[in-house]
Structure 1
Amino acid sequence: MTDPDPKSYNQPDRRTLTDADSGHLAASLIALTREVWVLADRIAVTEEILARRGMDIRAEIDAFQPDAQFQTKLNQMGERLVAQVVNALSGIETA
């Protein structure tokens, strides 16, 4: 048995992005940008409220190292976000 061509995995059955995908690409970028802004805004507001209450946790957040259980939760959240973006690119509506 011979080894498969190492580049073969990099050639899907169809082009990754076709001309028909451009609308989905734009929609996914807008959705992702909207979600990133909402998260950035909420984090900034949360940090400011905590700082005003004498709990400036910005440096602690920067230095935080999650344990295995919390890292698993973060990984799941990240996978969900990636799935939503990929679904938007594919034209699949998600709730």
Structure 2
Amino acid sequence: MKNFKLHPATSKPRKRKSLIESDVEKIGQAILTLTKEIWTLADRQIITENILKKKGIDITEEIEFYQPTPELEKELDRKRKALIKRVIDDLEGEYGPLEQE
């Protein structure tokens, strides 16, 4: 039995699925959805922290170590699942052509 080593010149490329043309629009929509969500969250977080800091309340460190209550944990889980569903819907094409909210 020969001991083969893989070298770039002798190895065969792996067969992999590639994107088809119709996937590009779906991925584009998913990226737009995620970008919109991320910016909304970042914007609100920055504004909230700045308003509180103006009022003498610096919550930056407290946020890092915060432990949510079971009720809040359920709400966070529900919202996380809703976001994931929207992204998956975009990837699966369950939307109008690049529709915006």
Counterpart in the other structure of 2:26? 24
* Structure 1 residue 78 displacement after superposition: 0.2
Q: 1:31-46 maps to which residues of 2 (within 5 A)?
A: 31-46=33-48
Counterpart in the other structure of 1:85? 87
Aligned residues: 81
The code of the aligned residue for 1:62 comes to E
Q: Which runs of 4+ in 1 moved over 3 A?
A: none
Counterpart in the other structure of 1:64? 66
Distance in 1, Cα, partners of 2:25 & 2:39: 21
Counterpart in the other structure of 2:57? 55
TM-score (norm 1): 0.75
* Structure 1 residue 18 displacement after superposition: 4.3
Distance in 1, Cα, partners of 2:52 & 2:71: 25
Identity of aligned residues (%): 32
| Structure 1 runs not aligned, ≥5 long | 1-14
Question: Which structure carries more helix by proportion?
Answer: 1
Distance in 2, Cα, partners of 1:68 & 1:46: 23
| Structure 2 runs not aligned, ≥5 long | 1-16
Cα deviation code 1:21-73 (max 9, x no counterpart): 22111111012112101110110011011001011111111110112111111
Let me know the Cα RMSD of the aligned residues: 2.0
TM-score (norm 2): 0.71
